[in-house]
Amino acid sequence: MHIADNDEKLSLKEKAGFACGDFASNLFFMAFTMYGLYFYTDVFGISAAVVGSMFLLARIWDAINDPIMGLIADRTRSKWGRFRPYLLWMAIPYGIVGFACFLVPDWGVGAKTTYAAITYILFGMIYTAVNLPYSGLMAVISPNSLERTKIAGFRFIGANSGALFVALCIPLLVQFFGAENEQYGYKVTMGLVACLATILFFVTFATTRERVEPPAGQSSSALRDMSDLFRNKPCFLLFLVGLLFLGSLSVHLASVPFYFKYYVSESYELFGWQLETQELIGAFFTWGTMCALLGVLTTRHVVKLFGKVNAFLILMTLSSMFWFPQYFLGPDDVSALFILEGFSAFFAGPTPAIVFAMYADSVDYSEMKTGRRSTGLVMSFASLGMKVGWAIGGALGGWILAGTGYIPNQEQTPEAIQGIRAMLGWIPAGMGLVSGALMLVHPLTDKKMEEVSGSLARTRRAALASAEQSP
């Protein structure tokens, strides 16, 4: 049995290679988050209420699918490890199904809706099959909590770089390839995105390795693993934190295309540049993503200064404070909107990295308490929380639009405009504040994790010594 050195440092090559995996994941994840609601309503031609329900239905299925995938990953045996093989096996299906989601068949409304639902739900399953093992890899790439925090920082540099690509390139490419035909523009653009995502998953597979193994002699009991998960209180708390954070981000970003298309004038001069609606949307997403990426670069320093728990609480509170006033801006206050979004995104930038580093800590915590390690199952729970939050944000956005009388590609009523503004401002702010407040009761402080890491290191050394003495 190989026992990884707690003090082993990960190379820059491995960190950068690992980051490529979340770049690939976020090419489609952020495409759906930023443009999904708009694409399905204004381009695909489905009602907002149906889209919202479709988003939620897919996540209900994920509640069954994700834990199953976690259990499968934990029981995988291969020459490449438990989690890395899925980056190799599922990269191509991920690209194909993601591309299929953005095709618009020339069918009737009922058939089109069925196609959209099937491809979207299938994409969620493929996303689970590749992203969950990728997340699990973070927990086994090093036994050292600090190294995992660093690798989480690199991961979300990759994630935000992927989001930046989506924000900057997708509206420009859609316009370049499609001109007035958005359906064709999305088809060509997302075909290119699919190819890029596939290649990047292969890069992650080739540059990383697994260093942490389950305890010697651990039985393969799914019921025991599920029982251990339900006793892992820090994991459940993080589930709620991630759900609310992703929900707040999802509803905020989903509102942006509608906000600029229906609330802001068709052409606006921003900091001396005359921008059309699609250019404004792309500029807003790009600006926010760049600021978030700058925030990610501060992750290690912020965590070192405040600890993971306090860092998340402080950052999420500050981010929400800059979301809230966006609701009150007028249609000509675009410059102020960009300034507020910049601060909000900067403070929110490090928070996903912190949450996933804490999920990896909860795996260690559970192993210390139970003597068993269920990395895949815990990370399936993390993935589920993320996707449920994503779905709640998208579904909430669709239902708000439908409830306020939104009709695609027409002048909107004052009620619909107010709903769009609420999605941009006070709704995500409220969800973000609750997400941060939950950290007040999170038990895995940095001091506690030092105790956990020390205990596990002693247990592993003892296991190794016992194995070496055995005939």
For residue 217, name the pLDDT band (cuts at 50, 70, 90): low
What is the mean pLDDT of the segment spanning 425-439? 93
pLDDT at residue 116 tops 70: yes
Region 115-143: mean pLDDT is 90
**Residue 96: what pLDDT?**
97
pLDDT per position as a tens digit, 233-269: 778 888 888 889 888 988 999 899 899 988 986 666 6
Which string of b and e fits 116-142 if b means at least 16 CB within 10 Å? bbebbbbbbbbbbbbbbbbbbbbbbbb
What's the pLDDT score for residue 91? 96
Place of tokens 């956990």: 452
State yes or no: pLDDT of 220 exceeds 60: no
Q: Which residue has the higher pLDDT, 459 or 364?
A: 364
Rounded mean pLDDT, 69-96:
90
* Beta carbons within 8 Å of 414's beta carbon, 6+ residues apart: none
For 22, 300, 303, the CA distances from 446, given in Å and listed in that order, are: 25, 13, 9
pLDDT over threshold 70, residue 222: no
Alpha carbons 250 and 154: distance in angstroms, whole number: 22
Give the end-to-end CA distance of the chain in Å, rounded to a whole number. 14
Query: Within a 10 A sphere around the Cβ of 460, how many other Cβ atoms?
Result: 20
* pLDDT band, residue 388 (cuts 50/70/90): confident
Task: Give 460's pLDDT tier (boundaries 50, 70, 90).
Answer: low
Q: Is the pLDDT of residue 157 over 70?
A: yes
Is 60 exceeded by the pLDDT of residue 275? yes
Q: Name, of 25-34, 56-65, 187-196, 292-301, the range with top average pLDDT.
A: 187-196
Segment among 87-101, 236-250, 318-332, 374-388 with least mean pLDDT: 374-388
Mean local confidence (pLDDT), 415-441:
93
What pLDDT is attached to residue 144? 79
* Better-predicted residue by pLDDT, 330 or 455: 330
Query: What DSSP string describes 96-154?
Result: HHHHHHT---S--HHHHHHHHHHHHHHHHHHHHHHHHHHHHHHHHS-S-HHHHHHHHHH
Share of the chain above pLDDT 70, in %: 89
Query: Could you tell me the pTM of the whole model?
Result: 0.72
- Whether residue 52 is predicted with pLDDT greater than 90 in this model: the reply is no
Give the C-alpha separation, 103 to 336, whole Å: 36
User: Quick one: residue 108, left, alpha or beta (phi over 0 = left, psi -120 to 50 = alpha)?
Assistant: beta
Q: Mean pLDDT of all residues in the chain? A: 85
What average pLDDT does this structure show over 419-430?
94
Q: Say what percent of the chain tops pLDDT 90.
A: 39
Are 249 and 393 in contact by the 8 Å Cβ rule? The answer is yes
pLDDT tens digit sequence for 344-381: 999 998 998 888 788 878 878 777 777 777 676 777 77
| Confidence category of residue 22, pLDDT binned at 50, 70, 90 | very high
Tokens of 442: 């999170």
Strand partners for 269 = 274
Assigned CATH topology for domain 12-459: Growth Hormone; Chain: A; (1.20.1250)
